[in-house]
Structure formats: structure tokens, C-alpha cells
Structure 1
Amino acid sequence: MKNTMKNLAIVALIAFTALSFTKIANEKKEIKTDKSKVVWKGYKVTGSHEGTIDIKSGFLSFNEGKLVGGEVVIDMTTLGSTDLQGEYKGKLDGHLKSDDFFGVETHPTSKLVFTKVTASGKNAYSVTGDLTIKGKTHPITFMMSIYGNKATASLKIDRTKYDVRYGSTSFFDGLKDKAIYDEFDLVSDLEF
């Protein structure tokens, strides 16, 4: 009986010591979609267009206060321009949602899954992730800054990797002033 109690005490002490030195599990913080914003900007030879797109869901993962992962799902059905009004806005928004661009009816969401996060400063991180648009996935690297419960990130995306070819001089000759540049920008302000 004495040996049994002694063995139980030793096992309890070992378990307590092991748990004391175990790393704290990642803390997953949900992105507040109603307080977060994603702005896009696309460029063409004769100017540019910009607009917004909503986040459907997402989270950032932290370990001991440091960013270690995350995932963001974008609701492609909310894609819309903010620099036009009326008929012109309707035409551009419809064209962006068509198969010429993002094929929203077939691909209603896009997704970014963080695969590697490296601290590059006090509140700055270099993030590599797998970006999926129109069912095609490619790696992308971008910078993210975090201050309290807010994060900002800017991404430059080559649309041609995701089969968004309309108006691209990489695929079509003779476009002249109708050409649309292959890269577009996304700027996100997240709250979690």
C-alpha cells in the first residue's frame, strides 16, 4: 500500500512537471468579418479600378502572442467596384464576376491558407500561404503587421496564375490601350 501511494505520487509529480514545460497550444482568434475590410485595385493601360470584397470567414493563430498561422475565406459574390456608379458600375461588377474574370457562379469563394510565418520585426511577419482562386492554388508571400487585435496586409497577385486571362498581354496580342495588367493588389485591414 505504501509503495502504491509512493508510485502514484511519483507519477503525479512527473505528469505535473511534464505539463508545466509543454508549450501552450496555439490560440485561434476568429476574424470579425463585419469589422474587417479588403480593398482590391486592378490596373489597365488607361487607368485603374478599385473596389471591395468581403471576408466570409477566417482566423489567425498565435502562440505566446506571436503569429503562427491563419486562414481567410473570401466571399467572391461580394466583389464590387467603388470607383464607378450606376450603369458603369453594374457592367464592371458583372464582368468581374463572369467567367472572363473570376467565374463567381462556379467559384463563389477564394481561400488563403498560411503555410509559413516568420517574424521580420516587432509587429511584422513574412507570411507564405497557399492562395486558391477559381480552383487553382499557388503559393504567395506577403508582409503582415499586427497591432493589438488588428492586422494589415498587402498582397500583389498575378491573376494569370489563376486562369484570369481577360485583357492580358501575356495571352493576347494587339490589345493596345485595352490591355489589363496581370497583377492586381489586395489590401486587407483585419480585426479579430
Structure 2
Amino acid sequence: MKNTIKSLLVLTIVTLFTYSFTTIDTNKKEIKTDKSKVIWKGYKVTGSHEGTIAIQSGFLNFDADKLSGGEFVIDMASINTTDLKGIGKSKLDKHLKSDDFFDVATYPTAKLVFTNVEATGKNAYTVTGDLTIKGKTNATTFVVSIYGNKANVTLKIDRTKYGIEYKSSSFFDNLKNKAIYDEFDLVSDLEF
């Protein structure tokens, strides 16, 4: 009987000690890809184009109610131009998927992994993450806003950091009105 009591006491102490030094796992919330959307907008000297691209998978991590991390995989084959119709739309969609831009056949996905999250307000965060496009990874900083089970993410991306130099005035002279600006925007409305 004494040995049983001692064993239970030791087990209780070991259990309490273990729980005291074990960190609580973050609360992982999967992105509802069918209810979330990503809008892209690219700029050129003579105007702009915009469209959508699909999230293949993703999640956000929370410690208590505070954003602490996240990761997204983007389906590059889903690039879709929404400001054109007919042949113009078809040609631009095909060109964006080609090696001149995102080389979707070789790189079917892009990935964003949060590496640092800092709260800047009640529902606002400045996030640094590793963004991988066309096999190249660069750090990027962006803003995330959280409201209930929804989030808004806004990124500005310099395409030339990922080897996308087509009609970039940073690499080619005399493009004049055919130049495409290096930066493009992504705005994501997420539901989790």
C-alpha cells in the first residue's frame, strides 16, 4: 500500500512538472479555400491588369486570440485575368503561365510562410514571411488584419526578385510605353 501511494505521488509530481514546462500548442485554423479569394493587380506604363488566383491550402496560427503564424500554398495554374474577355483574356492568361512570367508547368505552386508576427493594433499585424515563387525565396513584409473568422492580407511583390524580368525597365532599355512595372499587388480576403 505504501509503495502504491509513493508511486501515485511520484506520478503526480512528474505529471505536474511536465505540464509546467510544456508550451501550449498554437490554435491552428485552416483556411476555407472555397470562401477565400486572392486578387492580383499588375501595372504597366499604359495601364494595369487584374485577376484572381486560388489558394490551394493554408492556415493561420493563433496563441490565445493573437495571430502567431501562418502558411499558404497558391495554385499558380489558377491565374485568371478578370479585366479582359475573349482572345485578350486567353492570351494574357497563357502568357502569365509561361516562362516569361510564372512558368507554371515547372513551378505549379508558390508558398508563403510566416516567420515573424508583430501586433500593431487590436486587430492589425505586421508580418514578415518567406515567399517562394519560381523556386526563389525572399523575405517580404506585409499587413494582416483579423476580424472574427476573417482576415485581410495585403502584399506588394517585386517580381524581379523571383527571376521575372519580362519587359522590366530595370533590366531592359528603350521599352518606353511597353514597360511593365516590377511590383504587383496581392490582396487576400480569407475565411477560416
**Global fold match (TM > 0.5):** yes
- The aligned counterpart of 2:64 is 64
Q: Distance in 2 between matches of 1:184 and 1:92?
A: 15
Tell me which amino acid in the other structure corresponds to 2:158. D
The alignment partner of 1:101 has SS state of coil
- The aligned counterpart of 1:35 is 35
Contact 1:73–1:112 under 8 Å retained in 2:
yes
Q: Distance in 1 between matches of 2:21 and 2:111?
A: 35
Q: Distance in 1 between matches of 2:7 and 2:43?
A: 71
Q: Distance in 2 between matches of 1:17 and 1:136?
A: 44
- The aligned counterpart of 1:139 is 139
- The aligned counterpart of 1:25 is 25
Q: Distance in 2 between matches of 1:53 and 1:168?
A: 22
Alignment length, in residue pairs? Answer: 192
- The aligned counterpart of 1:160 is 160
- The aligned counterpart of 1:97 is 97
Q: Distance in 2 between matches of 1:114 and 1:37?
A: 19
- The aligned counterpart of 1:182 is 182
The alignment partner of 1:95 has SS state of helix
Give the C-alpha shift of residue 63 in structure 1. 1.2
Q: Distance in 1 between matches of 2:76 and 2:64?
A: 33
Q: Over residues 86-114 of structure 1, what are the superposed CA-to-partner deviations in whole Å (9 max), with x where a residue is unaligned?
A: 01000111111110111011111000011
Equivalences for residues 107-118 of structure 1 within 5 A: 107-118=107-118
Q: Distance in 1 between matches of 2:5 and 2:116?
A: 47
The alignment partner of 1:88 has SS state of helix
Q: Distance in 2 between matches of 1:103 and 1:7?
A: 63
Normalising by structure 1, report the TM-score.
0.95
Give the C-alpha shift of residue 80 in structure 1. 1.2
Q: Distance in 2 between matches of 1:61 and 1:47?
A: 38
Q: Distance in 1 between matches of 2:3 and 2:91?
A: 82
Q: Which runs of 5+ in 1 are unaligned?
A: none
Tell me which amino acid in the other structure corresponds to 1:120. T
Q: Which runs of 5+ in 2 are unaligned?
A: none
Give the C-alpha shift of residue 19 in structure 1. 2.1
Normalising by structure 2, report the TM-score.
0.95
Q: Distance in 1 between matches of 2:48 and 2:64?
A: 42
Q: Distance in 1 between matches of 2:11 and 2:93?
A: 65
Q: RMSD between aligned alpha carbons?
A: 1.5
Q: Distance in 2 between matches of 1:105 and 1:25?
A: 37
The alignment partner of 1:25 has SS state of coil
- The aligned counterpart of 2:73 is 73
